Structure 1
């Protein structure tokens, strides 16, 4: 998924951010910027989105936010850090010493972001070739991020559970790997550049669930919890950082066939989503509202 802010020359040529997300039904999202379309302001785009989030909202967790300043959290992961403070302390002690790159901090630019292990090489004509940030969680991580990313790509962990932070801590400190607690075995060796690793603030997933999808944050005891997919999270982040969000290869098929593919690559089908913690129908409705309101624009026809 991608977030971009038009450069000055682009503003003179009918500015548009081309946000390119490659995400089919669940995991994949790719975005990039271009000069075409119509610039839309935040208030015009999505009046039902949370109003206190802006492009200046901090994306990544920082050490000082939790251990030198008051930053109390009443919620546990994936919507807060309650109960995970010690794990975060160790992770951020290694990863939070690096500054946010200028191409993300600069208000004239809007970074491109992709999700999980979605490949780029061989698909450039459809998904673009720029990757400023890549959102992932352990089960979706590629053992060698360099295969799909540029040298400066930030690897942004979206922690859904404590095991996600523990996995990253074990990688960073070269500790014994604990394999329990994952629905799919994550890489035991991860060749990421430590200086490019960041942790997404759970605030964004919280706002995606609460404001965009309006799903209960505290389900009843017998109810299976429902969490946003990384794809809809990426759309929400883009809406808060880009004037215009263009998406492609992102959507939910009308077909109810369990054999329908969910990615533009690989062999995973809708069957793999059957017992997931996601409500795809609800997310499809949210995407339709965003499209109808002009908040997002599809680059290619979708089902």
Structure 2
């Protein structure tokens, strides 16, 4: 009788442990998708566990990015400054992947702008939440404006308007990244306080920017594939040059586009939206996007949130590889690196 009691005393805890182990295994098998989406390394759980809801998470985007791309290194200046020649990763490439042959004109521009950061107020933030606003029709009627304006840094692309669309896209603009052909052409449509940021894709783009900075008359349109802005109503201190490393890294390291000896060629240029996201991953602690993603299965859906052009108007691009970019962006969303507010990616 005594031996039976001892046996039961020993066997009961073992049975409980087996039950718990088996139960946890079944739970894991039942919800693999949820587990993968919500998974976060223990060190990150400890780091961010005590933060209140909505509070900025320092280093969050970098930590999630390195879990997918272990060689990802965050330090990469957002804009070119007078020390840009020391950046070896861009010195050996021609535009759009670098600055080779353009050093003198860039020096000339930077001597006039004299400002090379987001500005003292944003530079002081120990944690930055950034959002990249794409131009997709998916933004229309989503009423995300107030949510977008809560971000520390709001990045807009090319000539996408704000006035009249505030309910969906917000009213705040920290910077507008563009190239000559994509820049707003009517001076009155520019925001009164935002940074004008050039993302240069060809040699002519730097010459164009020099004319804009020094308020010189643009006499020729040669070298551009469509009409360009002739005036940028910004003072030199509000103008920046985006670090071309982000174009290089997005193309060759993340998306896997053809290297083509570091020269612009068919299908090896990332879109400006993906370039902006890459920039944000290096310089922001949390990164969100809105207005990204084209659904080619709905040809009558609006292409952009601000015009009536339909999705069917999209034609095959010579410079971009949209399908490969989608794969990259979906990987970022699935891995929790970026948040997609419009669920278009």
The TM tier, using the shorter chain, reads: 0.7 to 0.9
Task: Give the secondary-structure state (helix, strand or coil) at the position aligned to 2:92.
Answer: coil
Give matches, 1:244-255, under 5 Å: 244-255=286-297
Greater RCO, 1 or 2 (C-alpha within 8 Å, sep 6+): 1
Aligned to 2:93: 75
- Give RMSD over aligned pairs: 3.0
Q: 1:222 to 1:286 in 2, by over 3 A?
A: closer
Aligned to 1:57: 76
Q: Higher helix proportion, which one?
A: 2
| Aligned partner of 2:107 among 74, 89, 92 | 89
Q: For this pair of structures, how many residues does the alignment match?
A: 268
Give matches, 1:125-140, under 5 Å: 125-140=167-182
Task: Compute the displacement of 1:12 (Å).
Answer: 4.9
Task: Compute the displacement of 1:130 (Å).
Answer: 1.6
Aligned to 2:68: 48
Q: 1:84 to 1:272 in 2, by over 3 A?
A: farther
| Aligned partner of 2:156 among 114, 117, 121 | 114
Aligned to 2:53: 14
**Distance in 2 between residues matched to 1:58 and 1:215, nearest whole Å:** 23
Q: TM-score, normalised by structure 2?
A: 0.68
Give matches, 1:147-296, under 5 Å: 147-151=189-193, 153-173=194-214, 174-218=216-260, 224-255=266-297, 257=299, 261-269=302-310, 271=313, 273-296=315-338
Task: Compute the displacement of 1:52 (Å).
Answer: 5.0
**8 A contact 1:135–1:155 mirrored in 2:** yes
Task: Give the secondary-structure state (helix, strand or coil) at the position aligned to 1:266.
Answer: coil
Which string of whole-angstrom CA distances, capped at 9 and with x for unpartnered residues, describes residues 133-177 of structure 1? 1111111111356634242x1111000001111111122331443
Which string of whole-angstrom CA distances, capped at 9 and with x for unpartnered residues, describes residues 43-81 of structure 1? 224533474532x53111112433xx5857111000111
Indicate the structure (1 or 2) with the bigger Cα radius of gyration: 2
Task: Compute the displacement of 1:228 (Å).
Answer: 0.5
Task: Compute the displacement of 1:94 (Å).
Answer: 1.4
**Distance in 1 between residues matched to 2:94 and 2:70, nearest whole Å:** 21
**Distance in 1 between residues matched to 2:320 and 2:55, nearest whole Å:** 32
Residue 124 of structure 1 pairs with residue 143 of structure 2: no
**8 A contact 2:267–2:317 mirrored in 1:** no
Task: Give the secondary-structure state (helix, strand or coil) at the position aligned to 1:47.
Answer: helix
